[in-house]
Amino acid sequence: MPTPNSLDAFWMPFTPNRAFKADPRMIVRAEGMHYYTPDGRAVLDGTSGLWCCAAGHGRKPIVEAIQRAAGELDYATTFNLGHPAAFEFANRLGEILPDQLDRVFFTNSGSESADTALKIALAYQKARGKAGKYRLIGRERGYHGTNFGGISVGGIVRNRMTYGPMVAGVDHLPHTLDIARNAFSRGEPPHGVEFADALERLVQLHDASTIAAVIVEPVAGSTGVIMPPRGYLKRLRDLCTKHDILLIFDEVITGFGRLGAPFAADFFGVKPDILTMAKAITNAAVPMGAVACSRDIYDTILANADTPIELFHGYTTSGHPLACAAGIATLNLYRDERLFERAAELAPYWEDAMHSLRDAAHVIDIRNLGLIGGVELEPRPGAPTQRALEAFKHCFDAGVLIRVTGDILAFSPPLIIEKAQIDQIADTVRSALKSIP
């Protein structure tokens, strides 16, 4: 039997368990921009936890809202029952979502949101008499969570290779990373709009009559912070409209101010038919996700259902009272502190700080947009990912938390970050890269 303080029992996600448990990095508290280690050392959060805590940590209004909710209604199913907070939160989200994307289905994570969006797309096609439109198109290097639908349309090899054939009828667009033409671009890369035209080739291969939806991240995060080329998302929107294909934006990382606008759809001026959310929806204080769709999709599914239940889908904790309370309080914080606007105002300073690392050791590319940054390192010969992992450890020991994906250092700080803290991140990364071979 393991002891109460043993590290063995917890099988950690996306972690080299043996290496971590041999040399653990523990945090016990969080407040504002910082995590704190057991010995009281502050670690500046350069990642918003995991793209999650956009308003910073330990925010009192969110904590108090959760406490009140727990004392009033700890749990209620939303299967044939309702509670006011779920309806209030859905309406509040509708106020900041792109126009007409105001029909909201609650989930508990980004992975569940992705699978829910795919199911809604298929249900809509069937409801309007086009059940033959069953194919789902993802993108190479895409990340849409870790459920079977998400890894099927996703395109990260290690997330897919172990689990068999997955969902049938899926195909993929090419990714848009083009370092040869776009290295060290500031903001949207200038080259690559033509990557969207690959959808035309898939239409020629499968025929549009078989394609239900295309799902993409406006900014690809987990695969290494890949920005969309200038005009790419608009071209993709136009092609989906031309061929009667739904466009799904996975905004689990870009939603709620990350680019300086409520959603990436607003930032790029491109409206999807379905939009997924999670992470910052509750500032990660309580797990939650959501899917927003157009009124046409919602109305079509309801109007053409042949059973009283129009969509056979849901989760035990869809619209959980504590999550809804946290979400409402989070939206209030975003509004009252103008955090989306603040992100837009800080974005130029952030961009300069990221690109100040251009001459740092081992750097072969830098990518940024809003308060997102990616620094790509030249892989160490024969030891890919090792440089990035060593940089991660050096930064943590020096008091800054960053994220590593492959040989890319990824950054997504809380929107409350100060300019001096931006400088601290850049300086710490420069020092880390200088110290490693």
What stretch of H or E contains 268? helix 264-268
Mean pLDDT over 370-391 rounds to 97
Structure tokens at 385: 């990912």
Distance CA 66, CA 347 (A): 31
Q: Is the dihedral of CA 135, 140, 143, 147 positive or negative?
A: positive
User: Does 19 have pLDDT greater than 60?
Assistant: yes
Query: Hey, where are the domains in the chain?
Result: 17-55+338-435, 63-336
Q: Percent of the chain beyond pLDDT 70?
A: 99
Q: Percent of the chain beyond pLDDT 90?
A: 99
pLDDT at res. 5: 76
Domain 17-55+338-435 sits in which CATH superfamily? Aspartate Aminotransferase, domain 1 (3.90.1150.10)
pLDDT at res. 230: 98
Closest Cα partner for 227 from 192, 276, 273? Answer: 192
C-beta separation of 155 from 195 below 8 A = no
Distance CA 205, CA 425 (A): 47
Mean pLDDT over 199-205 rounds to 98
Averaged confidence pLDDT in the chain: 97
pLDDT at res. 64: 98
Instruction: Give the bridge partners for 291, in sequence order.
Output: 105, 276
Q: Would you say domain 63-336 falls under CATH 3.30.360.10? A: no
Mean pLDDT over 108-133 rounds to 98
Q: What is the pLDDT of residues 318-362, one digit of tens each?
A: 999 999 999 999 999 999 999 999 999 999 999 999 999 999 999
Task: Give the amino acid at 309.
Answer: I
Closest Cα partner for 409 from 349, 356, 354? Answer: 354
User: Does 196 have pLDDT greater than 90?
Assistant: yes
Confidence of residue 144 (pLDDT cuts 50, 70, 90): very high
What stretch of H or E contains 396? helix 386-397
Distance CA 248, CA 233 (A): 11
- Sequence-separated (6 or more) residues with CB below 8 Å from residue 359: none
pTM: 0.97
Helix (H, G, I), strand (E, B) or coil at 292: strand
Q: What is the pLDDT of residues 272-317, one digit of tens each?
A: 999 999 999 999 999 999 999 999 999 999 999 999 999 999 999 9
pLDDT at res. 2: 53
- Sequence-separated (6 or more) residues with CB below 8 Å from residue 178: 189, 191, 192, 229
Q: What is the pLDDT of residues 33-56, one digit of tens each?
A: 999 999 999 999 999 999 999 999
- Half-sphere exposure of residue 60, counting CA atoms within 13 Å on the CB side? 0
Q: How many CB atoms lie within 10 A of CB 333?
A: 21
pLDDT at res. 375: 98
Structure tokens at 332: 């209030």
User: Does 4 have pLDDT greater than 90?
Assistant: no
Using CA atoms, how far residue 96 sits from 90, 250, 287, 304, 341, in Å, is 10, 16, 20, 29, 13
Structure tokens at 212: 């239900």
Mean pLDDT over 233-262 rounds to 98
User: Does 1 have pLDDT greater than 60?
Assistant: no
